[in-house]
Structure 1
C-alpha cells in the first residue's frame, strides 16, 4: 500500500534471515517521499533516531522543507562533529507496471530490498544510522572526542533549495563540523582500463556543477501544419538540439582528475601505471582520446555533459503548427567551467539566432576538499572491510548537496560505502531500483570501522587529534 509507513516483514516472502537494518530500510522505502512530500519520511526517520537514543534537532519542519539532525550529543555542546548527510526525497517512480516489484512496497526478494529510494538514498541513510547507533551507549558513558550526526534533508533531487541550501546557512556555527560525508563515489569491481581482480572505491572530493537551461524558439509562421514549409519553431529547435547531442565535448584535464589519475597510477604500477599517472602528456593523447570516448564513466569525469531532458509545446491539435517550441537541457559542468562559458559554447555550436538560451537553475560554485586525515581513515576502513579494495579520490560526475557545505567552508567527502554493479548503477532513477542485503551489512561495517578508528583512541592520540581538529 503506497504511503503506508509501517508494515510487517511477515507480509512478504523472505527466504533468508533479514537484518534489523534491512527490515528498517524495507519500511522506509514503503513511504512514497517524492520531492515536496517528505513529511512522512521525516517523521519516520526522526522516530527511528529518537528510539535509538539520538538527540533530535529540527532545523526547518514545514511542507516541502523537512530538515533535521540526530546526534550522539546535543549540538549546543559544540563538539567537533562528524556529519553523515542524506536526503529523504526520491524521484517519481513512473508506471508501477514497469517494475518487477511495486516501487513503494520495500519488497524483499532474491537477497535484495527493492523499491524507489532503496539505493538513492534511503539505503545509504539506513547504513549511516545503523553505524551511528552502535556508538550511542558508549557516548552516554564517555566523553568522546567527536560528536556524530545524521543529517536528513529534503529536496535534493530538485537542486536542494528547500533542503541543504537552507541548512548550509550558519552551518559551521550550529554544527561545528569536522567533516561532512554525503553521497558520492562507491566501489566498482570492473573498470575497463584498470587491472582485474581488485575493487576500486572512489571517494568524491568535488562534484560537477548542475546547470539547467531552457532552449526556446518563438517564430510566427503559418498556423496549419500542411503549409508551414521549412521555417518553423519546432524545426529550429530540433536542428539546434541535434547539433548539441551529436557533438563530442572536448576533454578537460582538471587538477582533480589528475589527482585521481596519479593516485590510480601509483596503485597500478609498472608501465600502465606510469601511463595513467602522466596521462596528460601530449604523447599519450591518442591513448586518452581512445579510452575517454569509448568509456562513458571516463567521459563523464573529463568532459562537460549536455543532455536533453524535456521537450515541450503548448497543447494543440496534430495539424496545428506550434508558434513556440522549448526544451530543457541538463548540463553538468567540470570545475573551471562557468555557466556563461557553457551558454556561449552552445550558442556557437547551434549558430541560430532564433534559439534563445536561458538559465532555469544552477548549483553552488564548486570547491575541492583535498584528501587529509578523514580521507585516510575512510580509505583504511574500506580496505579493512573489502580486503581487495583500493581507494582513490575522484571528481564525481553527477551533482548533489555536497557542494552547499563546501561553499559554507566545510570539508566534504562523498561515499556510498558499497560495491555497485553496472546494472545497479543503471537502476538509479530507473525502474527496479534495489540494494543487496549483504551490501547493507558491508556498508555498515565500513562506517562503523571508520567511526571506531576516530572515536576510540588511546588517550594521548585522542587529545592531540581533537586539538588539531579544533
Structure 2
C-alpha cells in the first residue's frame, strides 16, 4: 500500500472508529467450496505450505526499486505449479509478471488478483522484536516487513489460484484467473502498474480486479460494538500534489524588515488557504456508506443514518470533529513542505516554495480545484504548478455481480460479519484500473486484532498464520462463485 496518505488500512481503521462516534447521532457447480487441508505448492523439489512460502518470501528484502529477487521467487513458484507466466518487465523498479490458469488472451475475460512486490523500508532494525527480514514463525505469527502489506495477501491469492487450477485441470473455464505482481506500488514510480497497463492491458483483458484493502473491524456500531464489518472498497480519493512558488525582490539584509517579502507573503497566503473549512461533499459512495450503517444500527441512530441528506445538518458537524472521517466527505489540503532556498539566518530570501498534498473526491476536477486554491490564496503572484496527479476514476458498482460474489464469499466465511462498500481515502494501484473504466474492488478478507494493524509500516509487522488459510479460502470461494455463475450480461464482462 502506498504510504502517500500514511496507510490505507490504518486510515480505514481510524475512519471506522470515527463512524462509531458519528453513530452517536440522534444447479450443481463446478466444485466444492470447503478448503482442502494442508495446502502445499511445489518449489525446487519440496512441498511448501503457505506459512513456509510466506516465510521465504519475507526473507527477501524488496524495498521499492529492488523487487527483482522477490519477483523471481514468486514467479518460479507460479511456474512450477502449472501457471502460465507472462513477463511484463524484468528489472528492479519495473519487475512485473502475470501468472494465469490459462494463457493470457484478449478473447478470455480475466479475473485479476493484484498485489505488489515492494515494501517500505524497515527502519531501525533494533526496534524490531525479530529482524525485519527474518520471516520468523513464532507463536502463531509470521514476522517481517511486508507480512500484511502486501506479501501475506499475495500468498493467499497465489494459493487460491493454484488450487483452482488443480481443481479444474483440463477444464475450459468461462474466465481466466491471474495473479498480477507489480513493482513500486509504494512509491508510485513510472514502472510497475503504469508500465503494465500502458503495454499489456489488451493482453490482460481484465473483467474485474481484486486488490489490497482493509481487513475486518469492530467497535463501529453503537448498538452492537462486537459486530465485525468487512469494508470492500469501490472507490478512492485521488492525489493532486501542487507546488506554490513566490518570488519577491527586496533588500537582502534581515536587519531591515521590508513591508512585503517572499516568506511573509507566502505564510499569509497559506494561512488564508488552510484556515478555511473545506466544504462537505456528499457522493453516492459516502451517502451509501451511511445508509448501510443505518441498516445495521438501531433506534434514532439508525433513522438518522438511513436519511443522511435530510440529517446532513446534524451529521456533518459530528464528522468534522474526526479528520479521518471527514476525509471521506471532503477534498483535503495538507501543507507538507516549505523551502526558502536559504541557509543564512540574516538574509531575506527572494523566493519561497511550498508543497501541498491535496486529495480530491470522485467527480472533482483538477482545474476547478486549482481555481478554488487560487481564490483562497488571494495572491496573484503565487505560481501554482501540478507536480503529480492521479487520473480521475469512476467508482465501481456495489450492485455488480462480482461485488456480490465477493461479499457472499466473506459472508460464507464469516457468517456473523457484514460486508459494506466503502471509499478509501488514499490511492493505490487499483486506481489505475478504475481510471480506465475497469471494475475493481479492494479487500483483505481476514480478521486481525488492532495490534497487528498498528504494526503496518511500523516496527514488528506480522500476520497470524491462521489468517493465511482464512484469506485463501475466501479468495478461492470468490473464484468458484464467478465460475459457477450464470453468464453475465455483455456490458458487465470485458471481452
Instruction: Determine whether 1:340 maps to 2:353.
Output: no
Task: Report the alpha carbon displacement of residue 112 of structure 1 after superposing the two structures with TM.
Answer: 3.4
The DSSP-based 3-state class of the residue aligned with 1:119 is: helix
Secondary structure at 2:469 match in 1: helix
Retained in 1: the 8 A contact 2:221–2:296? no
Question: What is the aligned partner in structure 2 of residue 66 from structure 1?
Answer: 95
1:437 to 465, 473, 490: 465
Q: Is this contact kept in 1: 2:106–2:202, CA < 8 A?
A: no
| Distance in 1 separating the partners of 2:139 and 2:327 | 32
Alignment pair present for 1:186 and 2:215: yes
Aligned to 1:163: 192
Distance 1:466 1:40, change over 3 A: farther
Indicate conservation of the 8 Å contact 1:218/1:233, yes or no.
yes
Query: What is the match of residue 321 of structure 2?
Result: 294
1:104 matches 2:133: yes
CA distance in 1, matches of 2:128, 2:183: 25
CA distance in 2, matches of 1:327, 1:436: 42
1:287: Cα distance to partner?
Answer: 2.5
For residues 133 and 273 of structure 2, the distance between their equivalents in structure 1, rounded to whole angstroms, comes to: 37
Deviations, residues 307-342 of structure 1 (Å, cap 9, x unaligned): 233343546345554443333222111012112222
Alpha-carbon separation, structure 2, partners of 1:313 and 1:27: 47
Pairing partner for 2:377 from 343, 347, 350: 350
SS in 1 for 2:64: coil
1:209 aligned partner: 238
Note if 1:38 corresponds to 2:67: yes
- Name the structure 1 match of 2:438: 410
> Tell me, what secondary structure is at the counterpart of 1:75?
coil
Superposed, which structure 2 residues align to 1:73-92 within 5 Å?
73-76=102-105, 78-92=107-121
Residues in 2 aligned to 1:346 and 1:250: alpha-carbon distance in whole angstroms: 13
Deviation at 1:346, TM superposition (A): 2.3
**Cα deviation per residue 1:401-444 (whole Å; 9 max; x = unaligned)?**
21221233321111122235555545444444333333233222
| Matching residue of 2:158 | 129
Uncovered stretches (5+) of structure 2, i.e. residues with no partner:
1-47
TM-score by length of 1: 0.85
Which range moved further: 172-181 or 428-437? 428-437
Match of 1:176 in 2: 205
CA deviation map 1:370-415 (0-9, x unaligned): 1211111111111122222111111221111212212333211111
Q: CA deviation at 1:207?
A: 1.0
User: Hey, what's the Cα distance between the residues in 2 that align with 1:179 and 1:285?
Assistant: 34
User: Which of 326, 332, 335 lines up with 1:305 in the alignment?
Assistant: 332
- Range 272-281 or range 261-270, more displaced: 261-270
- Assess if the C-alpha contact under 8 Å between 2:88 and 2:200 holds in 1: no
Cα 1:328–1:422, aligned 2, differ >3 Å: closer, same or farther?
farther
Calculate the aligned-residue CA RMSD, in Å: 2.9
DSSP-derived class of the 2:327 partner = helix
Matched, 1:139 2:171: no
Kept in 1: contact 2:106–2:205 (CA 8 A) = no
| Counterpart residue number, 2:395 | 368
Secondary structure in 2 matching 1:266: helix
Partners in 2 of 1:315 and 1:92 — Cα distance?
30
Cα offset, 1:45, TM superposition: 1.7
Q: Give how far 1:78 is off.
A: 3.6
Q: Is the 8 A contact 1:213 1:361 kept in 2?
A: yes
Give 1:232 deviation, angstroms: 4.0
Q: Tell whether 2:324 aligns with 1:324.
A: no
Matched, 1:377 2:408: no
| Consecutive unaligned residues in structure 1, runs of 5 or more | 1-18
Q: Is 1:112–1:434's contact at 8 Å kept on the other side of the alignment?
A: yes
Q: d(CA) in 2 for partners of 1:76 and 1:349?
A: 51
